[in-house]
Amino acid sequence: MTTDIARFIEWVNRYCRDAHRPDNIPRDPAGPLTGSRFRRTLAWHIVRRPGGLVAAAVQYGHVATQITQGYAGNYASGFPSELALERWLERVDDAADLDRYFKAGGHVSGPAATELRGRTARAVAKYVGRTMPTRRQAETMLADPSLQVFQGDGVHCVFNMETALCARSAAGPVLGDCRSACKNIARTDDDIDDLRAAISDIEQDTLAPPIRHNRALQLTHEKQQIIEAHQGERSL
Ligand code: SF4
């Protein structure tokens, strides 16, 4: 990896020189770019990209497979610390984004709307601007009720085990099995945009068989009602 990265940098810089471009990849004062310096990048992708955690689980399952020493592959590599920290950072980043949205007058609808505002305010007051914790601290903080907010597909899950409709046998929300009747749902304008995009995807699928088409119409109708309720509350 180290050799390939060095060659890639060389290639980019040669291209920039030949094309008389002023931009290039400067020398790194911290030394050569090695695989272990991408630990946080890898953790970011595992935690924040769809399917990332599954990929990580597969990776941990293959203990014989090590990308490079100390980078990933087994528990002793220390990589789980990166994941715990990245998960914590992700939740705090999301809370900070929501806080900015609410402070700018952003609207939120759904049965858990008030709880989402409350948790966001508490999470921001407690964690934003705080120095990076250790892995153990991050794991403890991740259980804090104010950080139990998860971004799903067109939905914010303000998780509460007592009222969750998806999590009968799981310790947390099962976002892929989110139920529209759940009391833990809150929606921001971005979530509503996701629903609009989902409706337009459904509408483009004109060749579906009748049963699927009818189900699609029903889903469209449900989504449209959610969108109208969100807009209706805003104009109150
Ligand atoms: S059904 Fe949806 S909103 Fe309710 S707990 Fe599960 S993921 Fe969260």
The answer to whether the beta carbons of residues 139 and 84 sit under 8 Å apart is yes
φ, ψ dihedrals at 66, nearest 5°: -120, 125
Of 186, 197, 189, 201, the C-alpha closest to 231 is 189
**Cβ neighbours of 220 (radius 10 Å):** 16
- Name every protein residue with a CB atom under 6 angstroms from any ligand 1 atom: 152, 157, 159, 164-167, 173-175, 178-179, 182, 184-185
- The amino acid occupying position 80 is P
pLDDT at 236: 66
3-class SS at 186? Answer: strand
Residue 198 CA to residue 116 CA, distance in Å, equals 23
* Substitution candidate for ligand 1 out of 151, 153, 159 with most atoms within 8 A of CB: 159
- Amino acid identity at 69: Q
137-150 in b/e burial notation, b at 16+ Cβ within 10 A? ebbebbeeebbbbb
pLDDT at 70: 45
In a 3-state reduction of DSSP, which class is residue 1?
coil
Per-residue confidence (pLDDT) for residue 64, from 0 to 100: 37
What are the tens digits of pLDDT across the range 115-142?
Answer: 999 999 999 999 988 887 787 888 888 8
Low-confidence ranges of the chain (pLDDT < 50): 62-75
Which of 149, 157, 175 most suits a substitution to test ligand 1, by most atoms within 8 Å of the C-beta?
Answer: 157
Q: Do residues 108 and 188 make contact, with C-beta atoms less than 8 angstroms apart?
A: yes
Give the mean pLDDT of the chain: 84
- Strand ranges inside the chain, DSSP E: 149-151, 156-158, 185-186
**What per-residue confidence (pLDDT) applies to 30?**
86
Nearest to 153 by CA among 176, 171, 174, 173: 176
CA–CA gap between residue 112 and residue 163 (Å, rounded): 11
Question: Residue 107's CB: how many other CB atoms inside 10 A?
Answer: 16
Q: Distance (Å, rounded) from C-alpha 20 to C-alpha 43? A: 36
The alpha carbon torsion through 83, 86, 91, 96 (nearest 10 deg) reads 180
Which tokens go with 233? Answer: 């509350």
